[in-house]
Every structure is written in C-alpha cells, then in structure tokens.
Structure 1
Amino acid sequence: MKKSKYSTFIAIFIILLFAISNSCKKNNIDPNKVFTFLGDESPQVVVAYPGMGDKNLPRNQSISVVFNQPMNINSCIQSFTVSPQVQGFFEFTDISLKFTPTNQLNFGSYTYNITKNCESSKGGDLKELFSASFTVGEATQAGQFPEVIAINVNTGTIATCNTNSGPRRNIISDSVNDACMGSPNVNPIEVIFSKPMDRISVQNGISLSPSVPFNLQWISDSIVQINPDIAFTARSRISVQLTSTIQDTNGVRLLSPISSSFYVGTLNLVPTLTSIQLATGTLGDCLSGTGVQNDIMLTSVVNACLGNSINNPITIQFSRPMSQAQTIAGFSISPNVTGTFLWSGGDQTLTFTPDSKFTFGQRYTITISTIAISSDRVSFDQNTSYSFVAGGALTNSPIVQAIGVASQGCSNTFPGVGQAAGGNWLAANCFWDSTLPVLGPNSYQFRGGDNGDGTNANCTDVNTDNFRLIFSNYMNITATINAIRLQRTSPPGTIIQLASWNWTDCQLVYPFGCRVVTLAFSELESSCNGNSFFGNAGTGGDFNLSRTDNMPAGYPFYMITVDTSARDTNNLQLGSTFQFVMEGK
C-alpha cells in the first residue's frame, strides 16, 4: 500500500516538472533555474508570467507568480510592486499569487518586482529579488500624449449670435470677452483633440464652471461638441475643464489637466422692452375711446387717458417670449394700481388693464424688474422703468426733476431717470431724479475735460463735464439760464463761468419754452484759458472744467445751483432753490 502511494506521488511530480519545463520554455525561462529548488530549502519563484521581455501583451494583462513551496502569501503581497504604479487586486493560494489590474493598462512598458521580504511559511526569505519587465502593445502604438488643440466658442454681436453666424474663437489661444450667451437652438463649445479619443473618458473628464448641465455630441473621433442645456448667464465667466484622466483610444492620458475660460459679453438672449403703449389725447377723445396710442419709451407722455367705463389698457411689448408668471411678478406700477393681465403674441405681448381710472395730473411709473425672465429662463439685465402723466401736464410750480451729465444715458427729454445708488459720468441713467433721496457728493462723479496739457485736442469741449438739468414744466429759457450757476466748494477755489448751453424737449406752440438744458462751463484756472475764459485761439475757447482724477478720493466737490428766479412759461417760479453737490474725478 505504501509503495503504491509513493509510486503515484512520483508520477504526479514528474508530470508537474514536465509541465513547468514546457511553460518555462514557452515563456523564455531557463528550465535549469526552475529545478534549482531540488535540494535547496530557500523559497524561489519557479514560474512567472509575463516573463522578462514579453511584448505586445493585451491591456487586460494580469501577472501570475508560482513559488516552489508554501509561502506566507501576505508577506509576498506586501513585497510585490509594479512600476508605473497600477491599482489592482490579488488572488492567491499558498504557493501562488495573481495580480489583476482594476483598469486597463496603458500602452507602454511595465516592471514588477518581488523583494526578498517575501517569506516561506517556515520564515525563510525569498532566495533572491525577482524582477521582470514586459510591454503592453508595441512601443510605437503609444505615440505621443494626446493634446487639446482648441476649445472654440461662438462670439460676435447680438445679431450674429442669434443666427449662429458669428466667428468661433479658440479660448486656449485667445482672450474671449464677447462670447454669445447662446441662441434659441445652438450654443456649442467645440473641443478638438490631436488624436482619436476614448469617448467614455472624455464624457467623465469634461466639466463647466459654474456648473451648467450639458450633453456631448461627437463630430468625429477627435472632435466633440459640448451642448449646454441652458443659456449662459450674461456678464459671467465660464471655465471649461478637462481632467488628466481623459485618454486617447490607445489609453494614453492627457499630460496635464486643461482649464480655459471665456467671458459672456454679448447679451444676445437678454430680454428687453421694445414698447409700452397707452392711449393719449383730450378728455373728449379719451372718453369716446378714440385716444391715440403713444409709446412712452419714445415719447414724453403728459396727456395719458384717465380711462373710461370700459378699459384703459397699457400694452407692453418684449423682445423675446417671456415666462408669464415670473414676468407678471416683476411688473409694478407706482403709485400702485390693481388690474388684470393678458398675454398674446406668443408670450411677447403683455396687456395690463387697470381696475380704475388714473388720477388726473399724477405721474405713474411702470417698472419691469430683474425678476422677469424669458421663457428659456434668461432674466432682465437690469430694472427698467418708464413713466407718464395722466390727464395732462402738472400745473404745480416747476421743479428740477432730474440731473446728470451729457455723457450718461440721461434723457434729452422729460422725464429723466436717476439711479438709487448714484453713478459716475458713464452711467446708463442720470445721477438723480426727484423720486430719489439725495446722497452724499461722493455718489455722483463727473470728469473734467481739461487735463492740464494745454493742447488743442485737450481744449476741445467734452461731454463728461456738461451738466444736464431736466425740469418738470416747460421753462422760460432766459430766466432759467440766468438762475443757474456752478461753484467749486472744495479749496482751492476757482472761477467758473457758463460758456454755452443747449435746450431740448421744447414745445413748438405758444407759450413755447423747453424742459431740458445741457450746460458747458469754463474754469478760468484750466490750462487752455490763459488769462480769460476763452483764451485759446486755436479752439475758440476751453469749455471744460479741470480734470481732477489725480486728486485724493472724495475731492474736490462742485455744487450746481438753480435759484427761484427760474420760471416756467406760465411765469410760475421754481418751488425752491435747487442745490446738488458732485465730486469731480
């Protein structure tokens, strides 16, 4: 019985040796090295695959090692390394271990090692360091690292952005400040790679910041379009980010992450008001329903119909289809008037019908705030207001209704619209109007036109220091001009004279008169004036104030005054002296 078992063991051992020998030959391992364990108690690696110098292996290649005796496998796992580093997991028995990478290997060369700290179950160290190198694929397959050649975005004007006909510019090489918000149907960001890319890694490795949901559309294996689900926010900076986990079809990753940005400077999808129309005319016309429709965005309306027994609608036209609920939430009329709303024209026309008549002589202001959004969820860029007077012009004493400078978006007609926070000479509206509190002088900044170099170009009049006064009534232009003066209130004092003026918003019938005057002042101390207010023969005078942007912040101050000798065409005096202090910068 014992002899039979021994014979069986010998047969199995011979078969095992034969199999190992064949495997060694197949994998270029010297069989003689395998059999050195006979008579040697030191643990050794007898079979390992891949072997030294193996080439053109698949990307899912695992690594297997067989020892000549039972091992402390945990010590062998701890002694095992792969370079470049690869994440993976182990399978093992007492005489073997197998390492399988978690992800597919990149094309290129790898080296794995097992140090002598790998011990047998009896505590003996591995006889010698084991190391083998192999190549996944051919070396020529790996090639160069893939690169991002371009990230192209749509740019241009409002018109070209809305028709997708503007130029496409590369944000990697160009500083882009006029990117489109998008268009109703098209707003792609195009990413061009130098090589065919692995699509899954690209999908997982691209992001936009601030986060915008998007889908990817592949144009070719090396060109992909990012299609955002919504328009970009106006006046925002968008970053396109690609991580280094992105790889080409050969598994070669980007050398480093990419991050490039662009500024959304073309406000092509921002909704705007195109008209606000209501009925105007005489009391008889209005009562009979034959009042003439006028647009208060284009005309200063002081004879809006009060209403009749049927209705008195205000029709508001938008540039784009609007979200009904949110646009109504952003609508207001002051003083407050309740009413009903009706949408038409594909949600581009809103009709507001008041529940009651307007009050005679009352000025009403209609505002659409930034709460209002388009149907594709683009909000108004800023609060927008227009006003009208119901029933005719006010019969009260005239007042200065608004003040600004000519370089602003300060109206040439009554009424002017101010800004609650004030503003500088480049603001979209006037400095102030009579519905707002007066702020400190630092909140209102103009820029003098004379920078002190005395050249002819410098002596030419500029409009950043030409003040505009808007009156509530049609004014007697002579009496009103004589009532206006400007003085510098911060030392050192200067001598200022009114050089020229221009009236606008004038009525062409008796008793005539105008409501808006633009004033150019000359400062004796300015560089072009010499010893007189109009001393520069080459320019015919210097109608500018001294430029003071080299002065400390909050300095100097100028005060414009209109005293009560100013009168309207009905000989009504200004209700009280008007004084307004500004900072020259």
Structure 2
Amino acid sequence: MKALLHFTCMVSLISCSVDITPPEIVSYSPPHNAIVQSSCPVSVCFSKSMNKDKTQKAFVLLYGEYGDSSIKGNFAWSNNDTEMTFTPELPLSNGYYRLIIEKTACDTHDNTLVTQHISNFTIGLDTIPPEIESLQPDDCSENIALNTSITIAFSEPMDTASVEKNIRLSPSVDYTSMWNTANTILTLTPYKPLLFNTWYQIDIAKCEDLSHNMMIQPVTCRFRTGSEYIRPVITGLYTTSISQNMAQTENFTIYEGANINDEIIITFNEPIDTSSINRAFIISPQSTWNSYWGNLNQTCIIHFPQPLDVNTRYEIRINTNLKDVAQNTLLNDLCVYIITNGNLSIIPSITNLECLIYEQKALTPLSVTDLGDESNENTTYEFTVHFSAPILRNSVPDNVTIQCLYGEQPEISGNINQFRWIDDSQTLKLTIAAIEGGNVYKLTFKGGTDGIKSSNGIPMQKDVWYIFYFHPVD
C-alpha cells in the first residue's frame, strides 16, 4: 500500500509542469526614439502575467539626456497583469526621457527578464543634439578586411541628407549608402575593395537629426586595411641550366650559359598571389610563357612553349606588381640578363667533311676540291660528315642533295644510297653512288628553318655546299 501511494505521488509530481520560461517585453509606448507632442502615460506589454510589485520596482523613467531626475507616478495593470501603464504624477515637461526596465522584473513564477530594457523618447520640441553611439571599424583598428563596410549608429533618427553630405572618407572611396528603417544606422559599402595596407580616415561633422539639431562634436575615426604587412621577397632565381642564384646578385648582372629550352624557377619567402605573376614577370625580347606553382605557392616555374632564340640576350624582370596572399607588394624590381649560349643551344654546323678513296681526304666548303683519281673498282664513295652538335637525324635525308654541275658524262648525276649515323649523332656516313670521274659534283647540306637541325631543334644557319671532282682513269 505504501509503495502504491509513493508511486501515485511521483506521477502527480511529474504531471505538474514547472514554468521556467522568462517573460519578454512584447511592446512599449512611446516607441524608441519617438517624438511625442505632449505629456502621455508610458505603457509596457509583457508576454506573461507579471509580479506587479517587483516589476514596478524595476521600472525607471529618467528625465534629461544624462538622467538628471527620476519621474514619479502611479501604476495600473490590465489584461491579466500583462500590461502595465505608468501615469506621471505631473505632466511630463518637454525634453528627453529614458525608459529603463531592469532585469529584476519577473513573472508570477519569479522568472526574470533576460536583458535590461532601455529606450528613449522626446516630449515636445526636440532640442537634444544627436550623437554617434558607435562607429565600425573602431578608431585606430588594424587588420581590416578589404571588403569591409563602414557602419555608423546615431543616438536618434537623422536627417539622412545632412549626414551623407557631411561624411568625408580619405583616401577617397566611392560607396553606396543604406539606412535602417529608423534612420539611426547608416551603412557605407564601397563599390571596390579598399586599398591594401592603407590608413583610412572618416570625418563626420555637422550632421542633423529630424529636428535639425546639429552634432556638437565632430567625430574622426582611422583604421588600417590588411591582415599582415610583411613584403614578399624573391629568395631564388634560376634557369634549368644556370644553377647560380641570380636573386642574390646586383640588378642588371649578365649570366651566360642558358639554353633555349630552359625553364625559369623563382622561389619566394612566403605564399604568393599566383595571379599577380601575370603582370609582374616580364621577358624581353618578348616570348610566350606559362606559369606553374608548387611548394604551397612559394615556387613559380616559368615555361616557354616555344624555344627561346639562340645566342640571344634576354632581360628577365620581376616588378612590384608581384603580391603575396595578403596583397603586400614586392619592394623593388629584380632585373637580370641571361644569354642563351649554353651547350644545348649551340647552332649546328659542319666542322669537317672527308671522302675515303685510298685515304681520307678533306673537302673545303664553298669551294672546289680535287679528290684525285677515281676508283677503278666502282663509282660509289663514302663521305664522312662531322657536325658541331648532335643532330636531329630525321631532319637530314630530305636536306642533303647531290647534283652534277657539268662534265664528260653529266647524265651520271650521283645518288645518295645510305645515311649511317655513328652513336653520338654528330658523325654521319654518306654513301654516294653514280660518281663518274671527269664530272663536277655539288654536295649541298640545307640550313635555315626547314633545314638540318640539332637534336634541340636548332637549325643550321644557312646552306653549306661542297664542289668536288675525280680525275677519270682510262
């Protein structure tokens, strides 16, 4: 029986709900920042039935901008103790009033307000000058984002035109102005991001409220944009063939030994805004290039889709358009010169041409060479060509020709039967048939853009030809 009674009591306790919801102020009159023509009562509407005694003690009505005196009066309640009306003992004088309801105001279950209520209103003609209650960004603040807006909060509704014409922003910024519905908060939104690492100053003066009361004191606020202010530094500048750090020498130093297929490697002390390299990197004579980034955007590789020109001096410049991710710029330009005369940029040429008859005999370019008596055995001869650099083998067959200029049997014009390369691609064995003693032959090696090229794609500068003949043997 006792157990049953205990269970019944527990169920009863659980079924009884405990009110722990705090009350709220649903509305009040006069509204915040209102201008009332004559004395009137003050009313406050709560979300719940209130403890009248504690709520009345939490009610304060002050007169004057600085709360010079407290207003006495009588309270009346209605609507199940959710609406409180305060009627002053004496009519309210013209001037500024502040309504305060402390957090100690509570409902019938002793749940108090969550926050203190403060509002103000004016009776009769408004003679109180407006003030700036807050200004964002704060004065002397730093690390301000470039896309920030400026917010100005006034103590009362303002004549918006008088405010907007009396705001000065330096350096000058174009912006849009937007007010809240009460005309107490103005937001300035710049059309473009603010300048990086720049001190801005806002000056506000002579602004008027709706009653044309003017601000007494001008307000000035300064702030600095950006998040960090360390400039980027070029720690390394190399090409594929130049291992010396060109960033550690004086500007305008000349470096030889670059090659036409080199890439340029640039390293930095911190991550870089990769898009800034497009305006910061300059090569002259101009050449098309692409950039690739690594090492958390601290290493940039400049790649040239087409080889650079052979034996050419290039100016490499990285200017102050270069920026890090915080938009700090490079302090000074870096400028060096490279010359594309490295081992892999040698213009190919024929260093020697020999013909094997009874012994090796050299031919002289651009002149006539007497190779002696023809061979009795056959009309086929082997020529050995020595180049100054490895040759792109497939560029040779279509660019070597033999022709008979004149002679006893000009119809025997010569024929190249075989191209045979030695391992290093710098030595070529030519087998030429149909060579008749008494005829004069011209052997031509074509140069130029469509001619014989090195393995790096560098063409011989011009055609090279050899004229030779054999003495006929009866």
Please tell me the TM-score bracket, short chain as reference. 0.5 to 0.7
Contact 1:178 1:266 in 2 (8 A): no
| CA apart distance, 1:99 | 2.0
Of 222, 237, 250, the match for 1:151: 237
State the partner residue of 1:303.
Answer: 371
- The aligned residue for residue 438 of structure 2 is 360
Q: Which runs of 5+ in 2 are unaligned?
A: 1-26, 35-43, 45-97, 100-117, 406-412
Task: Summarize the Cα distance change of 1:358–1:121 in structure 2 as closer, same or farther, 3 Å threshold.
Answer: farther
* 2-structure distance, mates of 1:124, 1:375: 86
Pair 1:167–1:260, CA change in 2 (3 A): closer
CA distance in 2, matches of 1:230, 1:52: 55
Q: What is the Cα deviation at residue 254 of structure 1?
A: 1.7
Q: How far apart in 1 are the matches of 2:302 and 2:273?
A: 13
The counterpart of 1:11, out of the listed 31, 38, 41, is: 31
Q: How many residues align?
A: 342
Corresponding position of 2:390: 320
For 1:351 and 1:77, the matched residues in 2 are separated by 89
The alpha carbon displacement at 1:391 in A equals 1.1
TM-score (norm 2): 0.52
Q: What is the DSSP-based 3-state SS (H/G/I as helix, E as strand, rest coil) of the residue aligned with 2:256?
A: coil
Aligned to 1:99: 189
1:355–1:11 CA distance, 2 compared to 1 (3 A): farther
The corresponding residue for 1:111 is 201
Contact 1:271 1:379 in 2 (8 A): yes
SS in 2 for 1:203: helix
Q: Which of residues 221, 234, 238 in structure 2 aligns to 1:132? A: 221
Partner of 1:468: none
How many angstroms does 1:133 deviate by?
0.9
Separation in 1 of the partners of 2:160 and 2:318?
46
SS in 2 for 1:268: helix
Q: Distance in 1 between matches of 2:441 and 2:414?
A: 16
Once residues 103 and 342 of structure 1 are traced to their aligned partners in structure 2, the CA distance between those partners, rounded to angstroms, is: 70
Task: Give the CA RMSD over aligned residues.
Answer: 5.5
Distance 2:224 2:456 in 1: 54
For residues 307 and 76 of structure 1, what CA distance do their matches in structure 2 show?
109
Give CA deviations for 1:40-91 in whole Å, capped at 9, x if unaligned.
6988766431132334544543322356435349x948965343x67x7536
Computing the radius of gyration from Cα coordinates, the structure with the larger value is: 2
Q: Is the 8 A contact 2:260 2:340 kept in 1?
A: no
* Displacement of 1:13: 4.3
1:181 to 1:61, Cα distance in 2 relative to 1, 3 A? same
Give the match for residue 51 of structure 1. Answer: 138
Structure with the largest fraction of helix: 1
Q: Which residue of 1 aligns with 2:169?
A: 81
Cross-structure match for 2:310: 234
Residues of 1 paired with 2:170 and 2:392: CA distance? Answer: 61
- Partner of 1:180 in structure 2? 257
Identity of counterpart residues, as a percentage?
12
- Going from structure 1 to structure 2, the CA distance change for 1:213 and 1:355 (only over 3 Å counts) comes to farther
What secondary structure is seen at the aligned counterpart in 2 of 1:303?
strand
What amino acid is aligned across from residue 62 of structure 1 in structure 2? S
Tell me by how many angstroms 1:236 deviates.
Answer: 1.6
CA distance in 2, matches of 1:207, 1:271: 26
Distance in structure 2 (CA, Å) of the matches to 1:104 and 1:323: 60
Match of 2:459 in 1: 379
Higher relative contact order (CA 8 A, sep 6+): 2
Residue 208 of structure 1 aligns to a residue whose secondary structure is: strand
Mapping of residues 450-461 of structure 1, within 5 Å: none
Contact 2:238 2:244 (C-alpha < 8 Å) held by counterparts: no
Q: Deviations over 1:173-209 (max 9, x none)?
A: 176545223287xx3434354x414242553332322
**CA 1:214–1:279 in 2, change beyond 3 Å: closer, same or farther?**
same
SS state at 2:274 partner: helix
**Are 2:259 and 1:259 aligned?**
no
Q: 2:160 aligns with which of 71, 92, 99?
A: 71
**Superposed, which structure 2 residues align to 1:330-345 within 5 Å?**
none
Cα 1:362–1:45, aligned 2, differ >3 Å: closer, same or farther?
Answer: farther
Cross-structure match for 2:266: 191
Residues of 2 paired with 1:338 and 1:71: CA distance?
A: 99
